[in-house]
Amino acid sequence: MDTNSKEILRLFKRSKLDLPVIVKTGRSEILEKASLKDIGLGGLSFRSSLHLEKGAIVEITLPNISTAFHSLAKVLWTKKEDGHYLTGVEFYLHNEKQVLEAVQKLQNI
């Protein structure tokens, strides 16, 4: 993939972080050991022990901000990395103002 293609794919600036994230799947599994890797206005990526299928809908909670952030998200990709899975999700049915506030708060942690 050339540089121009990468720029087109990245529509939102991402902030790299290493914070806890809670991911709830349709099977009601809670991944409390998931670790947020980066976040932007369009979505986020996290590292966990569970492989999630592309297209799956999950509930994301970021507990480490003054008012916990909750959003449904759609899994866009998952790849295995160092014995864990790195997963990228796109926010789905969310309040854009709430996402912006959460990203701003997390950037200041």
The model's pLDDT over 67-91, given as tens digits with 9 standing for 90+, comes to 677 888 999 999 999 999 999 999 8
Domain membership of residue 61 (yes or no) is yes
Number of domains within the chain:
1
Domain membership of residue 64 (yes or no) is yes
Domain membership of residue 32 (yes or no) is yes
What is the spatial distance between Cα 31 and Cα 20, in angstroms, rounded to a whole number?
Answer: 10
Report field, pTM of the whole predicted structure over 0.85:
no
Domain of residue 87, CATH code: 2.40.10.220
Domain range enclosing 44:
10-104
Phi-psi region of 82 (alpha: psi -120 to 50; beta: other; left: phi over 0): left
pLDDT of residue 38 exceeding 50, the answer is: yes
Smallest CA-to-CA distance from 38 within 30, 25, 47, 51 is with 47
Domain membership of residue 1 (yes or no) is no
Smallest CA-to-CA distance from 79 within 55, 104, 47 is with 47
Domain membership of residue 54 (yes or no) is yes
The rounded radius of gyration (Å) of the Cα atoms in the chain is: 13
Per-residue pLDDT, averaged over 36-43, amounts to 84
Percent of the chain at pLDDT exceeding 90:
27
Domain membership of residue 5 (yes or no) is no
